[in-house]
């Protein structure tokens, strides 16, 4: 039995949208057991977990995609804004409903594996589906950043989408004409890129994503880049070259990214930039 008021789920979603989320969905915590590995399920992080509240938003704006400066483009990420919404909801659940609520931080316990897959959470909360390029796309808003809250509160779970948002109609039309899609064409795995795939009857039936290769491009000015330049600097015997490495643009931007500006993490948005499902649904002037 639940002592939540009948309007609890609707109230929570309303608070999420007023707090800055574009969308909000709820997944059954038990649904993760069939997909997520052990130690990365809601109940592993919060004993007694019953629901996972997922919010999406802070997606790049049309002006971001139209910007001509690569330095502007590399800093257009706004992921920390939706993280703030997640923290706000965790506090609201505990204060208003009296159930434990754990905001899922964006970091990792070790390696590249997140505490909880936010993409899986978004799918199970009925907010979108995986794309050929990898990220989960929302049918109306396309590419978004995600945040999640695990809670012992038994909120009403949303249904998982049965029709994928990807491939979008323009992508299916392009496949019929050219045998490719915008994202597969901009970053082809067969030519040094990260993506490959195939459509049949308007659906993606075979996909490939080179995560390791993509990581070296997306996270250029991040921890890995910092470590690489630091090692090169320590091994450089020439004093002037060491100074050039430490005070150069690349190392400076890497320090900026990891110590101050979380919006400077990702530098490659090419697959999302050309995705019809991610943007371009409204004519801009």
Q: What's the mean pLDDT in 117-126?
A: 96
Please state the domain extents for the chain: 8-151, 169-209, 220-264
Query: How large a percentage of the chain has pLDDT more than 70?
Result: 92
Strands (DSSP E) contained in 162-254 are 195-200, 203-209
Instruction: Name which residue leads in pLDDT, 60 or 31.
Output: 31
Q: What's the mean pLDDT in 200-209?
A: 87
Q: Please tell me the distance from the alpha carbon of residue 44 to that of residue 104, in angstroms, as a whole number.
A: 12
Q: Please tell me the distance from the alpha carbon of residue 273 to that of residue 65, in angstroms, as a whole number.
A: 6
Look at the block and give the residue holding tokens 């790049």: 60
- What does the pLDDT read at residue 212? 84
Is 11 a residue whose pLDDT tops 60? yes
Query: Phi, psi at residue 210, to the nearest 5°?
Result: -85, 90
Model confidence pLDDT, tens digit, residues 13-24:
999 999 999 999
Please, are residues 64 and 30 in contact by the beta-carbon 8 Å criterion?
no
Specify which of 2-11, 73-82, 215-224 reaches the highest per-range mean pLDDT.
2-11
Specify which of 59-73, 105-119, 268-282 reaches the highest per-range mean pLDDT.
105-119
- Burial string for 17-56 (b: 16+ CB within 10 Å, else e) reads eebebbbbbbbbbebbeeebeeebbbebbbeebbbbbbbb
Q: Please tell me the distance from the alpha carbon of residue 283 to that of residue 210, in angstroms, as a whole number.
A: 33
Q: What's the mean pLDDT in 125-133?
A: 92
Q: Please tell me the distance from the alpha carbon of residue 181 to that of residue 198, in angstroms, as a whole number.
A: 9
Return mean pLDDT, the chain: 88
Confidence of residue 81 (pLDDT cuts 50, 70, 90): confident
- What does the pLDDT read at residue 253? 80
């Amino acid at each position: 039995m639940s002592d939540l008021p009948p309007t609890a789920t609707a109230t929570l979603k309303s608070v999420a949208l007023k707090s800055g989320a574009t969308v909000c969905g709820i997944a059954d915590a038990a649904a993760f057991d069939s997909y997520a590995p052990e130690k990365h399920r809601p109940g592993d992080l919060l004993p007694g977990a019953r629901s996972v509240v997922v919010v999406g938003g802070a997606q790049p704006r049309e002006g971001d995609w139209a910007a001509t400066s690569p330095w502007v483009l590399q800093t257009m990420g706004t992921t920390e804004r939706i993280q703030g919404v997640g923290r706000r909801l965790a506090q609201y659940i505990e204060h208003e409903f009296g159930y434990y609520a754990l905001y899922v931080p964006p970091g990792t316990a070790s390696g590249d594996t997140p505490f909880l897959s936010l993409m899986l959470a978004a799918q199970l909360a009925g907010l979108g589906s995986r794309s050929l390029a990898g990220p989960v796309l929302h049918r109306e808003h396309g590419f978004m950043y995600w945040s999640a809250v695990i809670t012992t509160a038994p909120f009403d779970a949303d249904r998982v989408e049965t029709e994928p948002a990807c491939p979008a109609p323009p992508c299916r039309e392009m496949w019929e004409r050219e045998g490719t899609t915008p994202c597969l064409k901009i970053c082809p795995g067969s030519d040094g890129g990260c993506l490959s795939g195939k459509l049949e009857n308007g659906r993606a039936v075979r996909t490939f994503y080179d995560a390791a290769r993509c990581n070296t491009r997306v996270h250029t000015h991040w921890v890995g880049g910092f470590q690489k330049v630091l090692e090169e600097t320590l091994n450089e015997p020439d004093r002037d070259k060491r100074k050039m490495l430490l005070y150069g643009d690349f190392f400076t931007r890497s320090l900026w990214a990891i110590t101050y500006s979380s919006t400077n993490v990702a530098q490659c948005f090419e697959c999302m930039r050309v995705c019809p499902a991610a943007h371009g649904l409204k004519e801009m002037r």
